[in-house]
């Protein structure tokens, strides 16, 4: 049962998207990936921490041979983003000539995704795509080739399903927005 609101730190949140709505969006993204990569063996690169639930549920729907890797991107200094990816942590796979799909929980300004795309493109993959559960189009500050989008949403502050507020809220199966 979904609580009618949750409190995290000093903020209140109300229900926004149900687990069923998320599952439907993920199934649609998976169907497109299964179609587009038929006959291929893509490497899915999940960006931690936020994408862990999305990546797990998406990959359960992938019906083709694939590999999975997890990375962390260091772009923060203190509590604010520097807007520059300093380091990609955990990527040990060779990307040259591979079909790579980055799995991200949310793309808003696009700073981190732009730098991540540039960094991974230097490794000469055969193709490089992005699959994100959430996209905030009104926040984007870059033209990004985001081919797979689960849900386009307004510029609301959301938590749950892997997204957090200062470390809390990732564990909820539904998504909540700040009130």
Point out the residues that are catalytic: 108
Question: If DSSP states are collapsed to H, E and C, what string results for 91-139?
Answer: CCCCCCCCEEEEEEEEECCCHHHHHHHHHHHCCCCCEEEEEEEEECHHH
CA distance 81 to 122: 23
Instruction: State which H helix or E strand residue 65 sits in.
Output: none
Listed in sequence order, the residues at least 6 apart from 165 whose beta carbon sits closer than 8 Å to its beta carbon are 8, 9, 11, 157, 159
Q: For residue 47, give the nearest of 116, 140, 142, 119 by alpha carbon.
A: 116
């Amino acid at each position: 049962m979904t609580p009618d609101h949750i409190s995290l730190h000093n903020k209140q949140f109300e229900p926004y998207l149900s687990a069923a709505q998320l599952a439907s969006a993920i199934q649609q993204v998976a169907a497109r990936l299964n179609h587009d990569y038929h006959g291929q063996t893509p490497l899915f690169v999940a960006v931690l921490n936020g994408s862990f639930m999305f990546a797990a549920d998406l990959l359960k729907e992938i019906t083709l041979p694939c590999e999975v890797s997890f990375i962390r991107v260091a772009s923060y200094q203190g509590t604010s983003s520097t807007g520059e990816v300093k380091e990609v942590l955990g990527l040990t796979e060779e990307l040259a000539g591979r079909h790579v799909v980055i799995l991200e929980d949310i793309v808003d300004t696009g700073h981190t995704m732009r730098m991540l795309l540039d960094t991974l493109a230097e490794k000469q993959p055969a193709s490089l795509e992005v699959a994100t559960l959430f996209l905030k189009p009104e926040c984007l500050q870059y033209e990004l080739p985001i081919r797979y989008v689960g849900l386009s949403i307004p510029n609301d502050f959301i938590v749950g399903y892997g997204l957090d507020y200062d470390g809390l809220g990732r564990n909820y199966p539904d998504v909540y927005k700040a009130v």
